[in-house]
Amino acid sequence: MLTGDLKSKIDQIWNAFWSGGIANPIEVIEQITYLLFLRRLDDLHTLEENKATRLKKPMERRIFPEGLDARGRAYDSLRWSRFKNESPSEMSVILGEHVFPFLRTLGSDDSTYAHHMKDARFTIPTPALLAKVVDLLDAVPMEDRDTKGDLYEYMLGKIASAGQNGQFRTPRHIIQLMVEMTAPTPTDTICDPASGTCGFLVAAGEYLREQHASLFHDAKLNKHFNHAMFHGYDFDNTMLRIGSMNMMLHGVDNPAITYRDSLGQEHGLEEGRYSLVLANPPFAGSLDYENVAKDLLQTVKTKKTELLFLALFLRLLKPGGRAAVIVPDGVLFGSSKAHKELRRMLVEDQKLDGIVSLPGGVFKPYAGVSTAILFFTKTNSGGTDNVWFYDMQADGYSLDDKRQPLLSEHLLGLQPARNVRGQLSKEEHLKNNLPDVLARWNSLKAVRPEHVEAQSTELTRPRTAQSFCVPKADIAANGYDLSINRYKEVVHAQVQHRAPLEILAELAKLEDEIAAGMKALEGMLK
């Protein structure tokens, strides 16, 4: 966990970038990402040196070659541990004229990080700012995965607070909810086709570290985790660099974070490859048919990106694979042929597990559109019996543009049950529904005998409750409308019916009281 002192230093660096002329938060993160990568390269080279010394053999892999670069400087002087001790002006020259040209030669390396650094540009404007940033990053204990991961997450949070680029970040507690509800396993192959900063993949990795720590003691599972489990696509090279670094700083050696226009390329090689899809795809605007992959149009003929992404998820999943994805509410009740057909496919051909309706302000201040989380399993043979609905009213934060926390920090998120009192009070629940969403979902999904009663409770809750189940037949009868308001019942306050004579008597009494009051007032005026 980051200390207040370290957060304060990061804030100072951030402000220094802005005052130094770099106003784009993405560019700030990008420059810091390059420096973190350089420190990692130096750490890897040091490990190779120590290994060679211990075994008394030549180094098997030299990251920094022997000899001189094209401009006559020794490659060894390009290492973090060397240039950090130079004067600010000399350090700026080394990075701008030697280190970054060297970075661009690393694209042949088979690591995802080297691949995304091949077009790196050095844009830190002043030697003083560079020295300040290097000193900060040098003080971070990089052997501590939690600290360096938290450091990068804190900086990524700056993107969201900076304005228009916030669309790259789904709120972290919503990501964690989706990950917990899908419960990744050590054998899963996970994909986010609109990966951005890789928040979903990072959260899935952290969940596995916490819930399945033993996987790292199994050589096969450990290799799968570091080299084959995580896949992210994006068509923004800056996001690819940032997302890759986010994964690296959270301890994943070689994730597959690759350039791909998810809707604009054929997916034959990807079809049926993944067991879990986690995503919050872009759903603003439409696409030209000419830019859309033909294999997606075979599934659903539409220009709507949100429908095309759902079709993509179905293609990417293997049978038995599951998905948790955020969609705009229009997907749930849209009346076009494509909307209806896609919903029919989810209900009749696949297994639609549940829908969590999110509060309208979750993505403010960047978007006010109403959204929901869809949970479904690819079966290609149906399987939907009941669809579980949850009407989330609060996520722990204000639903205005400020998004301020409504509760103390230990009462936010999914696990406030870890606090001293054990659970949220009714008043606290009204401000944070997340623990209740997870608890009810887990009880519905429980297969152990001791939880059968809880499972039955979810299946039999009235439709006036915050969560309830709707049989497939009811959904089909409503034209596969999946909006929660179609099925939710509202409890109306009972009106007390009274006899007309009783009401007239009360009116007469009231009239007498008014007359007496007027008479008393006249007496006072005389």
Q: Which amino acid is at 43?
A: D
Cα–Cα distances in angstroms (integers) from residue 116 to residues 25, 36, 218, 441, in the given order: 19, 13, 30, 39
* Averaged pLDDT of the chain: 86
Q: Are 399 and 365 in contact, with CB atoms under 8 Å apart? A: no
Highest mean pLDDT: which range of 160-174, 271-285, 316-330, 451-465? 316-330
Closest to 312 (Cα-Cα) out of 262, 276, 257, 375: 262
Q: What pLDDT, on a 0 to 100 scale, did the predictor assign at position 227? A: 93
The share of the chain scoring above pLDDT 90, in percent, equals 47
Q: How many CB atoms lie within 10 A of CB 483?
A: 19
Q: What pLDDT, on a 0 to 100 scale, did the predictor assign at position 18? A: 85
Report the range of poorest mean pLDDT among 132-141, 354-363, 381-390, 476-485.
132-141
Please state, in angstroms and rounded to a whole number, the distance separating the CA atoms of residues 19 and 477: 61
* pLDDT, tens digit (0-9, with 9 covering 90-100), for 194-223: 998 899 999 999 999 999 999 999 999 999
* pLDDT, tens digit (0-9, with 9 covering 90-100), for 161-188: 544 443 456 888 999 999 999 999 999 9
The share of the chain scoring above pLDDT 70, in percent, equals 89
323 pLDDT higher than 90: yes
289 pLDDT higher than 90: no
* pLDDT, tens digit (0-9, with 9 covering 90-100), for 415-439: 765 444 557 889 999 999 999 999 9
126 pLDDT higher than 50: yes
Which token pair is 496? 């007390």
Which token pair is 257? 């974070």
495 pLDDT higher than 60: no
DSSP states along 388-406:
EEEE---BSB-SSTT--BS
What's CA 303's distance to the chain center, in Å?
A: 25
Report the range of poorest mean pLDDT among 80-94, 362-376, 444-458.
444-458
Q: What pLDDT, on a 0 to 100 scale, did the predictor assign at position 429? A: 94
> If you ran DSSP here, which 8-state letter would residue 68 be given?
B
Q: What pLDDT, on a 0 to 100 scale, did the predictor assign at position 164? A: 43
Q: What pLDDT, on a 0 to 100 scale, did the predictor assign at position 301? A: 76
Q: What pLDDT, on a 0 to 100 scale, did the predictor assign at position 166? A: 39
Q: Are 213 and 202 in contact, with CB atoms under 8 Å apart? A: no
384 pLDDT higher than 70: yes
Q: Determine phi and psi for 59, rounding to 5 degrees.
A: -65, 130
Q: What pLDDT, on a 0 to 100 scale, did the predictor assign at position 448? A: 54
Find tokens 């990072």 and name the residue: 202
Which 3 state secondary structure label does DSSP give 328?
strand
Q: pTM, whole model, 2 decimals?
A: 0.83
Q: What pLDDT, on a 0 to 100 scale, did the predictor assign at position 418? A: 47
452 pLDDT higher than 70: no
Q: What pLDDT, on a 0 to 100 scale, did the predictor assign at position 162? A: 46
* pLDDT, tens digit (0-9, with 9 covering 90-100), for 226-253: 999 999 998 888 888 888 888 888 889 8
- Given the DSSP bridges, would you call strands 190-192 and 274-279 parallel, antiparallel or unpaired? parallel
Which 3 state secondary structure label does DSSP give 376?
strand
Q: Which residue has the higher pLDDT, 498 or 61?
A: 61
Give the max Cα distance, the chain. Answer: 117
Q: Are 432 and 399 in contact, with CB atoms under 8 Å apart? A: no
4 pLDDT higher than 60: yes
Which token pair is 288? 């030209």
Q: What pLDDT, on a 0 to 100 scale, did the predictor assign at position 256? A: 92
Closest to 352 (Cα-Cα) out of 327, 381, 382: 382
Please state, in angstroms and rounded to a whole number, the distance separating the CA atoms of residues 451 and 467: 17
